[in-house]
Structure 1
Amino acid sequence: MPVKKLNKLTQAANTYKTILHAMEEWVVIVDHQTKIFFINRPYARFLGVKAEDLIGKKVTDVIENTRMHITVQTGKPERLSFQKILGSNMIANRFPIIEQGEVIGAVGTVMFHDTHEWKQINSHIKALLVEQDFKHQTRLAAEKLDTGANFHLTDIIGDSPIMKALSAKVTQVASGDVTVLVRGESGTGKELYAHAIHQLSDRAEYPFIKVNCAAIPENLLESELFGYEEGAFTGAKKGGKAGKFQLANGGTLFLDEIGDLPLLMQAKLLRVLQDREVESVGGTRPTPINIRLITATHRPLESLLESGEFREDLYYRINVVAIDLPPLRERRDDIAKLADFFLQKLSHRTGRRAPKLTAHALTAMLAYHWPGNIRELENVMEAAFYTSKDRKIGLSLLPSHFSQVAEKLSPNQTPLSLEQASSSSLKEQLSLAERNIIKAVLIECNNNRTKAAKQLGISKSTLYEKLDKHGLT
């Protein structure tokens, strides 16, 4: 009987081989023993092997998450079934091949190779995605309270020494009620650290309220922060409105871009922090508040003190513990990991396989000074993700200034691949990249070290330390 089954499969497959190889859909046929009898070339090409090399192998040893063997066992078809292969979410169909009441094999097809292809076509699949997303959100809601804080310390990517030390400091100060000032350039992730501090504190089950001081018009700031009573001004809502301080009671208030707070509001904020009570606009009676304050700024507050743009007494009130976030150029050994994180995030969102950075692209990224920090890196990866066609991100897919950076590097510098970036030789590779960058900038600045330090975004003393380290003195 097995020989008879095989002969029938052979006859059927030979008739359609040419057609099956020409199809864009991926096709695999297994016999009654779930061994691969036929696989078309497009499918084999995706798996990275030759079609003829797979003949006779168990399908479970070749195709990830396959259910072809189950189709043979049960004799039941499976339509529009999710299957994840090599990181891509695909839709597969599986049908038993039945001859005279007996299952002699099964045929499987992959019609949509990633969710990007079928999302816009199949309304049934869209419904499945919505249902899946609903279940995911329901599970997340059950796992944590909706306090407004969405990020934990574990969500912050980076295992360089400077980031490990930063995580240790955050963990240490989070448990107390001490006021924290988070400082760092734009795009370094200041808000994420505010979320993480709240999540680690005893106030984690209470509200986390955030305010961007630079985004609210000055004439609305007072009512936004302290609330207002009914009839306090024209257009005031009936019953009044609670301010951010009242909403944050018991929890954490995060004031982002505190350096942009107008002087008048600085004085009112100082009084609230000293008296631990807030009076709403149009109100006659102060309300006690119990909050933890976290502030953040990308502006140099010391310079604002000198120019009279920031109150000295408020500065000392908010700067009890300072957490200084490093710019990306000072944690270059995290770049590869961050880049991969953003690509995988986009892959999860779109259903497309995440492309890989080529050696030259990653080397140029390691050498670049990243003025926009992590936010800029995320934007660069997003643009490259959507413009990549062959699942690789080469130098040509990065903005033009990366090519200019690459030209400055030594021709003898070994390109760094993504796999190398996670290996033990990363420190040596980064050191070589740093030496080449400093050397190139010094040449460009005619050996003017003050100008070179400014272009590199580091202090002059740090530059001298690096010159000594790399033997460039």
Structure 2
Amino acid sequence: MNSHCSLSIEEFRSYLETDQSEKIIESFQHLLTLYELQQARLEALLDTVNEAICIIDESDKVVVWNHHAELLYGIATDEIIGRPIEGFFSNLMLTKVMKERRTVHEEYHTPCPDTHVLINARPVKLSGQVIGGVCAERDITEVVQLNQKLSQTHQEVQTLKQEIDKIHSQSDSFSTVYGHSSAIREAVSIARRVAATAVPVLLRGESGTGKELFARAIHDASQVTGPFIAINCGAISPSLFESELFGYQPGAFTGADRKGKVGLLEQANGGTLLLDELGDMPKDMQVKLLRVLQDKSFYRVGGNKAIHIDVRIIAATHRNLEEMIKNGEFREDLYYRLNVVAVSLPSLRDRLDDIPELVHKGVLHYGTIHNKKISKVNPALMASFIQYPWPGNIRELFNVLERLVILADSDQLGIDNLPVTFCQLDFPVESIDPCAMEGSLLEKTISLEKEVIAKVLAEYHFNKAAAAKKLGIPRSTLYYKMQKLGLECQ
């Protein structure tokens, strides 16, 4: 050995006999302890995180491969450590990151067929030199596949629904009433039964609950062949109400049409007359309407000839008629004449389980009108719809949906364009987890899934490839599920 680069054996022994030798050994042992401690911490960290961790050196050889990476890709640590990573994957992001000296964050990636991940990756540097790369990957394979299936199924369901609606609407007058909640089913059931009769019907419900829709459905389901005529009692001036309802003779009053006018009652002869917003009818008109209902006839304004009619009367109101009777604002005898059969229409707050169906119907309707192809609804948006009180009921819901469809810049409706009223809610819609509202169902689903997977694994003696094929899922997904469900990996 050259004296300038190494010590002779005698010199080394002499050096160890000095006082410095113990300090050097002590320092070396301390550094070794620190190294072992750091290694233990690193191994614990790698096995604690939920991501698959991989580290490669400057030659693209794998130097770190944690337990989650084994589960995700089905590749054991001793199979891949020390080998070039290209030999295991067809599409690599990690080597590109290292060579291009760039960092990626939460980027969608498919490292191999049928596996989808969100990847975080960056080069490893030492003294300014790139000596390798590290990546952390979160498995989203099941989510991607489920979303693809849901989108495909959604399109198929919408196509089938359109065909069913066409067939159904031809035979069922109430096909335009959407929803399957018990409250709306009860209202439809009563309306169906009363439609076949000629008795007056009183529709009660908040504004926007679909009272006119129900009235038209009752008319269409009835035996009458005449027209459906609707009059909004709150939209007509009291001074013009009588002439609008009964019509008038030529020259009946100043400004009247010289030819006279046929009133709404006469126009509805042989059909149905809807008196919408009945509670807003002027008090003097209430007694005249009562007489029409009793006599089945009336006189035009300025006329002296009785006009006989056969009209089905449907009244609708959002007001408390009983309270109005107590206050002298509504005639009790007219109330009993019109309230032969009452149909109460539930508010949207009382039929929350109908909201998803109403949303998809509305999205399809307005998407067609505005030439927008919307195939998805963000779960956070649906959750916010369920939490919102809907003072305007279905009318308000459809107005909001039309707004969202018009402003949508993709095939998914989100919460970005919600009206300001939603922004004033006391809860953050982004934090709502729809699954949390179905705890018992979720628990049963997980339990059943665990039972099925365990049975198949036992049947194939824990051969993961065979079990995954039997279950119809990728092997990586099976590994992931086994870990999540606490099934022993053998």
The alignment status of 1:179 with 2:163, answered yes or no, reads no
Code of the residue aligned with 1:414 in structure 2: it is D
- Once residues 235 and 327 of structure 1 are traced to their aligned partners in structure 2, the CA distance between those partners, rounded to angstroms, is 43
Q: Which runs of 5+ in 1 are unaligned?
A: 1-49, 54-85, 88-139, 145-150, 429-473
Matched-pair contact (CA < 8 Å) for 1:355–1:385: no
Q: Deviations over 1:102-157 (max 9, x none)?
A: xxxxxxxxxxxxxxxxxxxxxxxxxxxxxxxxxxxxxx9xx99xxxxxx9310111
In the alignment, is the contact (CA less than 8 A) between 2:374 and 2:411 conserved in 1?
yes
Offset, 1:347? 1.4
With over 3 angstroms needed to count, the CA separation of the structure-2 counterparts of 1:251 and 1:394, relative to structure 1, is same
Retained in 2: the 8 A contact 1:278–1:286?
A: yes
1:368-421 superposed Cα distances (whole Å, 9 cap, x missing partner) = 11111001101111111111112222222212443454626896x52369xx99
Q: Which residue identity does 2:305 align to in structure 1?
A: R
After TM superposition, list the pairs within 5 Å mapping 1:319-330 onto structure 2: 319-330=339-350
Distance 1:230 1:400 in 2: 52
Query: What secondary structure is seen at the aligned counterpart in 1 of 2:190?
Result: helix
Partner of 1:365: 385
Distance across 2 between alignment mates of 1:400 and 1:222: 42
Q: Which residue of 1 aligns with 2:406?
A: 386
Contact 2:286 2:331 in 1 (8 A): yes
Is the contact between residue 355 and residue 388 of structure 1 (CA under 8 Å) also seen in structure 2?
no
Paired residue type of 2:209:
T
1:241 is displaced (CA, Å) by: 1.1
The whole-number CA distance in structure 1 between the counterparts of 2:370 and 2:429 is 35
Aligned counterparts, 1:142-291, within 5 A? 152-203=173-224, 205-291=225-311
> In the TM superposition, what are the counterparts of 1:54-453 in structure 2 within 5 Å?
152-203=173-224, 205-405=225-425, 407=427, 414-415=433-434
Maintained 8 Å contact 1:179/1:318: yes
**What is the Cα deviation at residue 210 of structure 1?**
0.8
Using structure 2 for the length normalisation, give the TM-score: 0.53
**Mapped contact 1:183–1:190 kept (Cα < 8 A):** yes
Shift of 1:160: 1.2
Cα distance change of structure 1 residues 235 and 374 upon mapping to structure 2, 3 Å threshold: same
- Could you tell me how far apart the structure 1 residues matched to 2:304 and 2:421 are? 58
Work out the CA distance in 1 between the residues paired with 2:385 and 2:435: 10
Amino acid of the structure 1 residue aligned with 2:237: P
Alignment-mate amino acid for residue 350 of structure 1: H
Residues 333/406 of structure 1: CA separation in 2 closer, same or farther (3 Å cut) = farther
Inter-CA distance 406–188: structure 2 relative to 1 (3 Å threshold): same
Instruction: List 4+ stretches of structure 1 deviating above 3 A.
Output: 403-406, 408-411
Measured at CA, do residues 241 and 408 of structure 1 come closer, stay the same or move farther in structure 2, by a change above 3 Å?
same
Q: Which runs of 5+ in 2 are unaligned?
A: 1-109, 114-154, 157-165, 445-490
User: Equivalent residue for 1:9?
Assistant: none
What code does the residue aligned with 2:284 have?
L
Q: Give the CA deviation at 1:425.
A: 5.6
User: Within 1, Cα distance between the matches of 2:389 and 2:221?
Assistant: 32
RMSD, matched Cα: 3.2
Q: Give the letter for the 1:367 counterpart.
A: Q
Whether the 8 Å CA contact 1:249–1:290 is kept in 2: the answer is yes
Query: Does the C-alpha gap of structure 1 residues 410 and 387 become closer, same or farther in structure 2, counting only changes over 3 Å?
Result: closer
Q: Distance in 2 between matches of 1:241 and 1:397?
A: 48
One-letter code aligned to 1:248: A
Give me the whole-angstrom Cα distance separating, in 2, the residues matched to 1:394 and 1:409.
Answer: 11
2:270 alignment partner, SS class: coil
SS in 2 for 1:396: coil
The one-letter amino acid paired with 1:214 is G
Provide the rounded CA distance (Å) in 1 between the counterparts of 2:417 and 2:270: 48
Deviation, structure 1 residue 275:
1.1
Q: What is the alpha-carbon distance in structure 2 between the residues aligned to residue 425 and residue 242 of structure 1?
A: 60
Quick one: distance in 2 between partners of 1:360 and 1:408? 9
Deviation of 1:350 after TM superposition, in Å, equals 2.2
Report deviation, 1:366. Answer: 0.5
In structure 1, how many angstroms separate the alpha carbons of the residues matched to 2:205 and 2:184?
13
CA distance in 2, matches of 1:266, 1:218: 11
Code of the residue aligned with 2:221 in structure 1: it is L
Residues matched between the structures, number: 282
In 2: Cα distance, 1:297 partner to 1:425 partner: 40
Alpha-carbon distance in structure 1 between the residues aligned to 2:369 and 2:312: 35
Secondary structure class of the residue paired with 1:395: coil
Q: Following the alignment from structure 2 to structure 1, what is the Cα–Cα distance between the partners of residues 233 and 373? A: 39
- What fraction of aligned residue pairs are identical, expressed as a percent? 45
TM-score normalised by L of structure 1: 0.55
Give the Cα separation in 1 of the matches to 2:245 and 2:256: 15
Question: CA 1:254 to 1:416, structure 2 compared with 1: closer, same or farther past 3 Å?
Answer: farther
Code of the residue aligned with 1:415 in structure 2: it is P
Q: How far apart are 1:165 and its partner, in Å?
A: 1.7
Instruction: Quote the Cα distance in structure 1 between the aligned partners of 2:422 and 2:375.
Output: 18
Question: Mean alpha-carbon deviation: is it higher for 362-371 or for 398-407?
Answer: 398-407
Say if 1:364 and 1:406, in contact at 8 Å, map to a contact too: no
> Would the aligned equivalents of 1:364 and 1:405 in 2 still touch at CA under 8 Å?
no
Shift in CA distance, 425/249, structure 1 to aligned 2, threshold 3 Å: farther
The alpha carbon displacement at 1:268 in A equals 0.8
Q: Which amino acid aligns with 1:170?
A: A
**Offset of residue 367 of structure 1:** 1.0
The amino acid of 2:374's aligned partner reads A
The aligned counterpart of 2:98 is none
Q: Which has the larger radius of gyration?
A: 2
- Once residues 320 and 297 of structure 2 are traced to their aligned partners in structure 1, the CA distance between those partners, rounded to angstroms, is 29
